[in-house]
Each structure stands twice: as C-alpha cells, then as structure tokens.
Amino acid sequence: AQKVTQAQTEISVVEKEDVTLDCVYETRDTTYYLFWYKQPPSGELVFLIRRNSFDEQNEISGRYSWNFQKSTSSFNFTITASQVVDSAVYFCALLNFGNEKLTFGTGTRLTIIP
C-alpha cells in the first residue's frame, strides 16, 4: 500500500520569507515517481515537478527547490523569497511502478502575507 503524508495543514508566512513544505511517503516499491502540484485559489491543478525514485539529485527552478531524501522517504519543497502569488494549496503525490493511480497527500494550504 502507498501513502503520502503532508503533516502541515496550513502555513502562513510573511512575504519574502522562505518556507518549506514537507512530504513524507510510504511505498514498498523500489521504483516510483513523486510529484508536486499547486492549486491556486482559481482552482486548477498546476504541475510543478516530477521526480523518479532513482534520481536523488535535488532540483532548483527559480525560487523553487526540492529536496528528495530516499533514506527518510521525504520529498520536501522549498520556496525562497516567497511572494503573494505563491499562496495556494500544494499537493504532493506518489505513483508506484506499474500503476497509473496517483496517491495524493491531503495538501498544505500556504498563505503569504503581504
């Protein structure tokens, strides 16, 4: 069975602060894929990143960075110098090998205070 835990239900930070969203996953598979999606107030789901289990390199994309640690089954997401436009619900998701069902965490609602 697979599971994704986003323990932080809601986070509020002041604009320009850095913030890290936690994601812990459980799976018995050795091959799997991890995703992050953003759901802004308008409601759509925006793809942010996909990571394969065999690639533990951290990734940086502008103000966004991801820290993948297989040893702790975590795939955390950091936003540096946060902006009001970053306010959204962020979902972490897991896709096991040979399976086409994404398992989502319950999401973290991030509010950036101007």
Task: State how far the alpha carbon of 57 is from the alpha carbons of 44, 52, 68, 88, in Å.
Answer: 28, 10, 7, 26
**Bridge partner list, 14:** 113
The interface region with another protein, picked from 15-23, 36-44, 62-70, 74-82 by CB under 8 A, is 36-44
The helix/strand/coil state of 111 is strand
Quote the CA–CA distance of 51 and 82 in Å, as a whole number: 23
Name the residue nearer to another protein (CB basis): 44 or 71.
Answer: 44
Instruction: State yes or no: residue 47 binds another protein (CB under 8 A).
Output: yes
Name the residue nearer to another protein (CB basis): 44 or 114.
Answer: 44
Interacting residues toward another protein by CB under 8 A: 33, 35, 37, 42-47, 50, 52, 91, 93, 95, 97-107
